[in-house]
């Protein structure tokens, strides 16, 4: 079967929009969907989204000047004057740009020839997407979510960024409140659903942990008939009923899992393990990454790849930035896991620090956001865990971490927030032989401490060379 890309006419028809500026060719194929005008390439579809910080309508002219074939807008009154006149792209007015983007992605999904895989969970989604992208590469060219593109904008952008002849497409699917997984799953309609561990993330949007487990489990209801569900049974969701013929495969660390990560060991900045009697390695530390690798192996083996090809491909995984990213600089090993945090991922990061350190341990820990009423107890739990590290230095950043450290009586240095001066002050405490963990929710900006350390090392090297 030939799978045809979307044309401008398809976009008009599917969205029910009104062309308020003629397109170059109504039958011309469009490229990716883009919401950042700075990323537009020739032939792309630019969707103007009104966000909290800025409004994409202000940048329609920029997008067209960069070669967008079509721009979708909600209200033409918001579009800045001065649109380019030479060889312009078209402008399509719709009632709701977000809804239009979702409709386009849903219709385009059926034109994708390869298998579509959806990944959800509380921890490890983005890393698992990167592992799947690597492990499935022997099948041929594929598309996978960029960064953490897992919401009502990111998921459609991922699907619309795929090519119709891709061997596979991997989508990350996230949630902050009840009903989001259901809405996104109706768009993705995956052939395979992967559930990483379901822990205590974004609890502020849910009444209970059970409600979060049900929310995650809603993805299973939309796996296509005859498809596959791959579940971390060590910390599972509450799976919704599946379509006829959908198989379920389990993974994890515990006995009885179909794909169990065993004999886990760290090798520098990598973690190795044995899964069903075969050796695998991924270039990221952490037992949790070995467990997620077991889920990836479950998918790849179920799709027919040999163990040898999977192992070779997994070893070439490109780790996502600020997720268990290890760098040795100036005699200090820094584990940058500062992209996000919840109690389970924080505990896993602290355990990884304990496993990797062959010298002194330093933990720089920031607040975990969106935990609702569970927040104080969760911060107490993590601070106490850090207190058992035997660390040379513990630094806590944020009011919740600071309050937890005071309640627990854990010896530490506390900061309400991080700025450049405080980042430099923390980095100045590092010593040769230290292994340093940077871990906190994204808003805490703990990566600035690693950047400050790199600057100190660079300045020191310059000083010695003079």
Domain CATH for 19: 3.40.1390.10
Final residue of a structural domain among 293, 314, 335: 314
Alpha-carbon span 180 to 383, nearest angstrom: 32
In a shared domain, residues 202 and 71: no
Lateral strand order in the sheet of 413-415: 325-329, 332-337, 435-439, 361-366, 393-397, 413-415
What percentage of the chain's residues is helix, strand, coil (to nearest 5)?
40, 20, 40
Task: Tell me which residue has tokens 């992967």.
Answer: 194
Question: What is the reported pLDDT for 78?
Answer: 65
Decide the pairing of beta strands 325-329 and 332-337.
antiparallel
In a shared domain, residues 289 and 384: no
- The per-residue pLDDT for range 245-304, each reduced to its tens digit, is 999 999 999 999 999 999 999 987 899 999 999 999 999 999 999 999 999 999 999 999
User: What mean pLDDT is predicted for residues 366-386?
Assistant: 93
In a shared domain, residues 285 and 250: yes
Classify the phi-psi angles of 285: left when phi > 0, otherwise alpha if psi is within -120 to 50, otherwise beta. beta
- The per-residue pLDDT for range 106-139, each reduced to its tens digit, is 999 999 999 999 999 998 999 999 999 999 999 9
Separation of CA 449 from chain center? 22
Instruction: Please tell me the total count of domains within the chain.
Output: 3
The answer to whether residue 104 is domain-embedded is: no
In a shared domain, residues 217 and 355: no
Residue 92, domain extent:
8-96
Provide the total of helices (H) and of strands (E) in the chain, helices listed first: 14, 20
User: For residue 199, is pLDDT > 90?
Assistant: no
Burial 333-360 (b: 16+ CB within 10 A, else e): bbbbbbbbbbbbbbbbbbebbbebbeeb
What's the chain's average pLDDT? 92
The answer to whether residue 102 is domain-embedded is: no
In a shared domain, residues 451 and 357: yes
User: For residue 2, is pLDDT > 60?
Assistant: no
Residue 418 has φ and ψ, to the nearest 5°, of: -110, 130
In a shared domain, residues 204 and 180: yes
Decide the pairing of beta strands 142-144 and 393-397.
unpaired
- The per-residue pLDDT for range 402-444, each reduced to its tens digit, is 999 999 999 999 999 999 999 999 999 999 999 999 999 999 9
Two structure tokens written together for 33: 């969907």
Task: Tell me which residue has tokens 């040769």.
Answer: 432
Final residue of a structural domain among 314, 343, 374: 314
Final residue of a structural domain among 42, 68, 96: 96
Two structure tokens written together for 327: 């760098």
In a shared domain, residues 303 and 411: no
The answer to whether residue 103 is domain-embedded is: no
- The per-residue pLDDT for range 52-70, each reduced to its tens digit, is 888 999 899 999 999 999 9
In a shared domain, residues 342 and 390: yes
The CATH number of whichever domain residue 428 belongs to comes to: 3.90.190.20
Rounded alpha-carbon distances, angstroms, from residue 342 to 218, 299, 401 = 21, 26, 13
Which 8-state DSSP code applies to residue 28?
P
Alpha-carbon span 338 to 454, nearest angstrom: 16
The answer to whether residue 456 is domain-embedded is: yes
In a shared domain, residues 143 and 214: yes
Rounded alpha-carbon distances, angstroms, from residue 369 to 16, 105, 176, 351 = 39, 31, 12, 21
In a shared domain, residues 56 and 163: no
Two structure tokens written together for 116: 């579509």
In a shared domain, residues 66 and 163: no
User: What mean pLDDT is predicted for residues 334-354?
Assistant: 94
In a shared domain, residues 244 and 387: no
């Amino acid at each position: 079967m030939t799978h045809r890309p979307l044309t401008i006419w398809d976009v008009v028809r599917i969205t029910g929009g009104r062309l308020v500026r003629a397109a170059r060719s109504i039958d011309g194929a469009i490229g990716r969907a883009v919401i950042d005008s700075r990323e537009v390439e020739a032939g792309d579809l630019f969707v103007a989204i009104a966000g909290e910080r800025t409004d994409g309508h202000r940048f329609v002219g920029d997008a067209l000047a960069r070669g967008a074939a079509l721009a979708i807008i909600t209200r033409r009154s918001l579009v800045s004057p001065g649109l380019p006149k030479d060889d312009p792209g078209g402008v399509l007015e719709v009632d709701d740009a977000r809804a239009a983007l979702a409709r386009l992605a849903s219709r385009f999904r059926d034109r994708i020839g390869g298998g579509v895989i959806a990944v959800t969970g509380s921890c490890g989604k983005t890393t698992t997407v990167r592992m799947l992208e690597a492990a499935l590469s022997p099948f041929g060219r594929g598309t996978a979510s960029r960064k953490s593109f897992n919401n009502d904008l990111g998921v459609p952008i991922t699907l619309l960024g795929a090519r119709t002849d891709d061997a596979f497409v991997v989508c990350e699917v996230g949630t902050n409140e009840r009903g989001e997984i259901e809405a996104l799953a109706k768009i993705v309609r995956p052939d395979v659903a992967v559930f990483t561990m379901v822990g205590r993330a974004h609890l502020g949007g849910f009444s209970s942990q059970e409600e979060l487990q049900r929310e995650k489990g809603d993805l299973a209801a939309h796996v296509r008939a005859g498809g596959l569900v791959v579940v971390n049974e060590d910390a599972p969701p509450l799976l919704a009923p599946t379509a006829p013929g959908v198989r379920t495969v389990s993974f994890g660390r515990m006995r009885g899992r179909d794909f169990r990560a065993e004999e886990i060991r760290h090798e520098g900045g990598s973690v190795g393990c044995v899964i069903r009697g075969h050796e695998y390695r991924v270039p990221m530390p952490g037992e949790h990454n070995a467990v997620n690798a077991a889920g990836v192996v479950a998918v790849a083996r179920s799709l027919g790849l040999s163990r040898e090809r999977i192992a070779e491909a997994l070893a070439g995984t490109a780790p996502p930035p600020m997720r268990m990213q290890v760098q040795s600089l100036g005699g200090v090993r820094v584990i940058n896991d500062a992209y996000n945090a919840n109690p389970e991922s924080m505990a896993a990061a602290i355990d990884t620090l304990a496993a990797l350190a062959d010298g002194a341990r330093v933990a720089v820990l920031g607040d975990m956001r969106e935990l609702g009423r569970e927040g104080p107890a969760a911060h107490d739990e993590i601070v106490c865990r850090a207190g058992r590290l035997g660390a040379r230095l513990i630094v806590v950043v944020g009011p919740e971490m600071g309050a937890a450290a005071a309640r627990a009586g854990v010896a530490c240095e506390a900061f309400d927030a991080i700025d450049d001066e405080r980042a430099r002050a923390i980095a100045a405490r590092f010593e040769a032989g230290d292994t340093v963990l940077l871990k906190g929710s994204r808003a805490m900006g703990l990566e600035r401490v690693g950047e400050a350390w790199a600057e100190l090392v660079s300045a020191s090297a310059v000083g010695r060379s003079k």
